[in-house]
Amino acid sequence: MLGGGSQTPEIDPRLEVTVAEVATNRDSIPQLVDVRELDEWQEGRIAGGKLIPMSEFAARVEEIDASQPIIVYCRSGGRSLMVAEALQNAGYDARSMAGGILEWESAGHPVER
């Protein structure tokens, strides 16, 4: 990372997938979960994803099929990383899409509005 200052902690690579990996494998991802809030989701989302805001996640986790892999995303990857880690700790096969929808859009992938 450029610059001095604070160090970013290493992120376990088993917790994240790249935008390119999600785009390449989009048709074979059984569960794509958007953990942003409704107003963010309404601004643009990846087609086929399910909205379960992070603020409602604990109450709605039963909507996720524990027997299928899950890709979680948010705006920039922070919230989805926390959710993916919590899901993994609970025994789910979950990964966060690094960079979130901001990176998805900047890479030129389609966004549903």
Provide the annotated active-site residues: 74
Nearest one of 26, 37, 9 to 104, comparing CA atoms: 26
**Position of tokens 């966004």?**
111
CA–CA gap between residue 16 and residue 56 (Å, rounded): 22
Eight-class DSSP state of 30: S
CA–CA gap between residue 47 and residue 110 (Å, rounded): 8
Task: Answer whether 111's CB lies under 8 Å from 34's CB.
Answer: no
